[in-house]
Structure 1
Amino acid sequence: MDDSTTGHNKLARHNRRLQALLRKYKQLHQLQNALIQLSEQASTVPELTLLYPAIHHILEQHLPSRSFYVVLQNQFTQALELSYFVDEKDGISVPMHLANQFGEGVTGHVFRLGETVYYTKESMQDAVKDGHFKALGSPAEHWVGVPIYREKTIIGVMVSQSYNPTQSYSDQQIELLEVMSLYLATAIERVKKRELLESEVKIRTRALMQSNEALNSEIDHRKKALERQQILFKIAELATSSEHIEDVYLQVHQIIRSITFAENLYIALYDKESGWLTFPYCVDQKTAASKPREFAKGYSELVISTERVQLIDSHRAKLLIENGIVERAVHVPEENRATSWLGAPLKTSQGVIGLIACQAYDHKYEFDHDDMELISFVSHQIAAVLQTHLANQALKASYQELEHRVLEKTKELRQTNLHLQMQIDERKKIEQQLYHDAHHDSLTGLPNRSLFLTQLERTLQVYQRHPDHHFAVLFIDLDKFKEINDQLGHHAGDQFLISVSQSFADCIREHDLLARLAGDEFVVLLNHLTDKQQAEDVAKRIIRVMQKPFCMKGICVQSGASIGITYSNKRYADTDEIIRDADAAMYYAKNAGRGRFEFYHPLLTAGKNIQRHAEQHHLCDLPTHFRSTEISNLDDSNDGKRAKIRVLEAFGEHPVLGSTSFDILKKFAAEKDEQIEIELKLLQEAQNWSKQFDGNTLFSCSTLLLEEHTFPQLQKHLNASQYKLCLLFNELDVRFASSRQLENLKLLTQSGVAVGINEFAKDRCDLTLVSQLDFKYVLLSSTFSKRVLQQSSYEVQLKGILAVTACKHIQVVAKGPAILNFQTLLEKHGLKLFFGKQQSLQAQNLYDLPDSELLAE
């Protein structure tokens, strides 16, 4: 009976979950369908008078909107004017006495507020009484107003109202109105542009039909434009068809030759900084290639200085020389002087970079104004191509820009085909944008909350079916992000977020997921994990990346990242619990000093029970027991002669959490003074327990006992007992210990106190700690022990550790699973000592147990 009931309950829960997902997917489908219909209408309707009824028809399919109107702001008078109006009571046209009063009513209130407003009949009457706006028109039972934005500027309001008391608006329906309003401004602009375009086409058609002379002129104009278009296309091809600049010069010559006389042509480049002219290309029947020269008063300099096309014949050349505008550096024989010379500047966005010039001898050809117009027309395009090659810019980008210019110059000739292509491209762009906006963050381009939660839900379902497929969620909050915004501005803050997102992406694998939740909060979903260390490694990489200062406008701000980590657990039933626990761990990391990471622990969310107990009880009042772990040696041949080694660890019986390590309790619940008091009491208790043991006893301590005001108490405790312990200190604490703490640690070793280092090589293998301090024991972390068997680089590090410890007569103990095969493999690498079996030792309250009282095991 119980199994049947349990099965029915599970089926019911699954059924409810499936129904919720169905509602969610149905809502998203309706929203997507409405936006697609809006995009289709914006692409097809010829004028605005047809767009608004189409939008009204779309909305009627999903919500009660038989009464619907749109109000837009007149950009000249700034007044709110009605663009579309259909009402069940007031008809299909707005009443005359309300035509220009929307700014005073609830519609104007929404426009000024800039936010979505939902009123019932009663709440609207209350707002009228409070003076927020005037009552206009027939009162509706339910009224929804949504602002219409173009980029960040509000341009109008879209309103739907219902006169039926039972037809209210749900959150999903309001959300549909809001999303429709986001794309309405774009749709209005597209239809307006289409109307304007059609109007221009009609005006041009009427103009063409006025006279045959105008028609012929237009035909000639189009022919010239087509010819220029072909020239522009040839120039545009240079940006991508030629890899070497010499080929570009040769093809430019061929293009100029196709439009005018160009048997003699040269291209000169001008360096403004050095003031020199160079001639990379020159073809001339009279002279050889020109040598580089300083900027002087030649024909070329005249073109560059005036930035205009210059046409010079023999007569004008004489006048220019007589007036001192042009000077010849050397004497040129009469037969070698050009009788007609034409030069055009090569202009770019950075200024004039040179010129292109054609010249004729012996009156073989006389350039005219048509030639000036043609060479001026192509010189700009040639300059762009040359600048692209000379500056080594991206060829593809230059070609697209050049193609854009061509399309802009010839749009009147190819309007019909281009218009159709623009419609197709714009529709594809909108569809892609709709999909991207629905799943990605607009600033960083990262997946958004919706996509992340969807992927997390799938990952959780996979883990529930396959418990060995572990995962982890990292909740990241950026430190001092507000300072960046305050000091450098919000634009710099946006650039910082973009830079951070790119850096975070480099810290994870390809199949992991990085998303931005909101503001400065990011999350990472790590899949296919085998242990927590992998998640820890990713967190460390992110923290290291965030330690680099962010600089902009000459100001550098040091940021950081506080990271909360939650690892896959069978107790997780939904994604909200996972996000909640990761968020709690992140806040603990931020409150504990920032720039660090913390794994989630039940203490973070244990709730009021822990708070109430913390107020009523001292941590030292908790019932305590010790766990003893023996250090074993696989070589048992002389076990009787070898001194035994064991490690003591203290546990507290917490009323809410049960048996929990004192290291965790101190970390989450104790102030600094209380923690020191607990440390000393535990040390005293461990000394009592060591009386029962043969051999050496190792006990973990924190570096707080090495501080200046605490160290004398530690020495007193150690000197008062004849049974000495070996004090174990965590490698991370020793690495970041102060100079005073390190000096006190050396004093301990010099006074004969045995000292060991715990969790060694968990993050990195720092042999200086082992070589500089006189440790008796080195306990390798389990993470390092596993990696020794997996990666050859860690095997080399282990050899270094064993070499240093052998010189200093330090015993090395390996942590890891108490599996014979695991320990046997490590023994082949030179390790002898391993963590062995554990034994629980019961004890009373720390304060209640006298030093002389010993409890049996």
Structure 2
Amino acid sequence: MYNNLDEQALNADDQLVTSDTILEELNTLRSLVPEVELLSDKYQNLNRLQEALFTIAELSGRNLELTEFYRGLHHIIANLLYAENFYIGLKNDKGELRIAYLADRYDEGKHLAVSHQQLEMGMTGYLMRRQEPVLASRDQYQELIEQGELMQLGSSPSYILGVPMMSNDNCMGVVVVQSYDDGKGYDTQDMQVLEFVAHHLAQSIERAHYRDSLEKRVSQRTGELTRANSELQKEVQERLRSEQLQRTLFDISEMAHEAVNMDDFYAALHQVIAKLIICENFYVAILDSDGETLLFPYRADQFDPTPKPRTLGRGMTEYLMARAHGLLLKQSDIQALEQAKAIDKSGTPAHSWLGVPLKDGNNVIGVIVLQSYDSNHQYSQSDLELITFVSRHVSSALIRKQAHEKLENQVRLRTRELESEITERRRIERQLKHDASHDSLTGLPNRIVFLQRLRDAFNRADNYRHYDFAVLFLDLDRFKLVNDSLGHMSGDELLKKASSRIRRCLRGRDLIARLGGDEFAILLEPMKSEEDAIGLAQRISTSFDQPFFVNGERIFTGSSIGIALGNDRYDEPEELLRDADAAMYRAKAQGRRRYVLFDASMHEEATHALKLENELRIAIDRNQFEVYYQPILCSKEGKPAAIEALVRWRHPTDGLVMPGRFIELATEIGFIKEIDWYVLNRACYQLAEWRQNHPELADLSVTVNLASQHFSQSNLPEQIANVLEVTGLPANALRVEITEHALLDDQEMVQTVLSQLSELGVQLLMDDFGTGYSSLSYLHRFPINGVKIDRSFITNMRGQEEHMAIVKTVKALADNLKLKLVAEGIEDQETQDLLIEMGCDYLQGFHIQRPVNRRVTLEWLLENSRD
């Protein structure tokens, strides 16, 4: 019984051991599953790679065109990884990169326009340089671009994978795939696959290229051998004939080259041809230079003598020349021509006649003729061909002889012409050198010469102690008025006479130059003291006291002179000239006909002017201007009839700047037109608003000043019409003030512009009337509606009788011409009463109201418009 129990226990233990073992083995097997799956994947990948390699090898053996071969490679790679966008880049024999194949969703065909230099900077060149695979996302790709590693040439990919194609440690190209879908990327396994395939692709592409190159070379060589064989056959056929003619042609060529005496040449030619064919009877005929006479410089004949020169007729020679090609005739052929009256019968009849023309291009200049009087000898077609060939060499000799004689004549003529040309060229060179360094109008040295001489003076001052010199900058006073009134020809004549007068005031070594316009510069060197420069300025100024006589007119003009002394504070000649110029402007500002010696304060003023110019340019860009208004009263009603728009500059640090400080500068730097348009727009807009909102101002007008530059533009009326249309202001509510200077520039254009403005309804007023020399002559020529008496006459009319007389004269003139009269500059009640009593139409001045901003202007207008 115990034995049975023990056996049962033993069996139970065996069963327990077996279950544990099975579980352990199962767990072991489960842990091996990933490894088995990995091995399976590797096997499948290796199987795919092996199939791809077989396919590549099979593709290489098909003898496909390279394009078809690359397309097949693309298909193979597409079976291994995502390769919708794929390209192959290769390096040619010159080391230049090219895209051999491209398939791309976005960039298809664009590679044709990409140069090999661009490819060197792109992904292709980057892979070639690294010779290592590149796997990059869009961010990594952009980082490479930003780091300057490569340049983007096509569309930006989401992922890009590229590997070099290596062959014997040499990178022959690249294979690149890219994805534009964020969900389709590449990993290291794809990179290993593409790298593996690329290695075998390199060998296959190399074989394909070698096969393609070999086929081309074989085809090319076959063609070359075929052509060579054909040419060799022709050469063999021609060789016998060439050997026969070689010596003869050499002799002819030698004679043609060395021919000096043509009679000897013709005789020698006859002997050479006689070695080839029988030519006992031989002659040469030449057409004379007149084109109408036939000459016979050589003839050897059994029966007939050498003919004398004759006018072209109907001989056999002329017949041959008319046909202009070789002729081979029998006696019967010649008789038929005689019977047909094509030729005249002359000389001993020949049994066989051979003739060829001598030509210069397409023109026949003569003939060579062989005749046989023996019926047993007839010339053949091969004889004709031979003599035709020989005739070309004879023609060359004749042409060379004629050309030689002509050339000798031309050389003699050309030699004389060249001698004349050389003389003229030297004269022109001297003139060009002079013109390059001198002013064409006055003959004075120009700025270039002046600055060079001034630089030399600087150098002498550096080398020698107490070497003093000075620069005088001179400008003619009121020269523009002469130009505008008498014309530019008179202005040029005045400049020439003025330059001569200035030159007479100089010493021997002093230099005067014309810098441009009416500006002259004088270099005074050496000098003892500044008194020398002052004395020269005084002499020049005194010389201008006498009038100039120009085209029958007596012209008085003065000179404004600036003086700058050379000293150690100047480094460059231009600086000294600049300061002399600044001093001249100071002299002109002090009343003209003066001279001023430059000092440090002028430099400060120039610096301030430059600062002001820069600030003014900024003010125009930032619109720092404001419009102020000054009322104009109607003298009869005592109520405001108009307002004048005046500009002010709201300077960010200096506050309100008056126009006297910047208008002239704005005109000089070319910005006055922008300021004028700003004022015109703002004034029209403001008045239109007031007229609409305040019935008592419905008849109010606005006066705007426009610079003279506006009136030389044909589109000015159109621009003003646009402003009026946009702002809604009627044209008759706008008054445009013009100066006499505006009427002088281009009178025909100004006439047209003013007429169009008048037709538009705009009122035109002449400003500052009475200050010019020709104001009266313009009143009846231009459509002026009124004149504005200059304030200088109004301000002083009560204290100076001549000013009162001028005001009365202008009033009478305005009445006669039916013009409105505006008096500006009224500063007291007595002057205002006098003008009202005189019958002046409109009144303006500080006594009535100063220019104020728009708010104060509106208050004043409303208060003074009430009944």
Structure with max Cα Rg:
2
Q: Which has the higher helix share?
A: 2
Instruction: Choose between structure 1 and 2 for higher RCO, CA contacts under 8 A separated by at least 6 residues.
Output: 1
Q: What is the TM-score normalised by the length of structure 1?
A: 0.30
